[in-house]
Amino acid sequence: MHFKFNNGNAHMKKLLLISLSALLLPACADKTQYEQTVLEQMQLDKDIKDYKLSPERMAKCVVDTSSGHMPGVFGLDPKRLTAYRNYTKMLTLSSSQDPKKTLEELRTDFGSPKELAEAHANYTESLMDCLSAVIMESEGNAKEAK
């Protein structure tokens, strides 16, 4: 008896991979945009400049810390992806063409003024926690270097 295996399995795997890639690219873009926006904020922050901290290190810390308190169970959860978009919009409010309109949109996007305030508090707390941690880390590295 001779069996001939169908190569359809490989075709299905390729199709699944292509479909999954199509879903993941926009998702990665949301997080990447949030990371880029946070990095830009860190590059402008006076405390980070004064303490001579790495804006890249701070941005990574702030993104990781704030993401842990965002809606959604995991990074590609649709609720988390929406949160990345909303946080990005929140961080760029001051550069908006119409800040008043954007603020109203943010209140709607987040669900309520209270939820927008909670998101802002999450970002601010993450920033402060990271500032403290990165300063302590850099002071520890400076002591070791001596």
The answer to whether the pTM exceeds 0.85 is: no
Structural domain contains residue 72: yes
Domain with 51 in it: 27-145
Domain count, the chain: 1
| Domain assignment of residue 15, yes or no | no
Q: Exposed e or buried b for every residue in 46-62, given b needs 16+ CB within 10 A?
A: eebeeeebebebbbbbb
pLDDT tens string, the chain, 146 residues long: the values are 554 545 556 666 666 555 555 554 455 788 999 999 999 999 999 999 999 999 999 999 999 999 999 998 887 788 999 999 999 999 999 999 999 999 999 999 999 999 999 999 999 999 999 999 999 988 877 677 66
Q: Give domain status of residue 14, yes or no.
A: no
Asked whether residue 1 is assigned to any structural domain, the reply reads no
- 22 part of a folded domain: no
Report yes or no on 2 lying in a domain: no
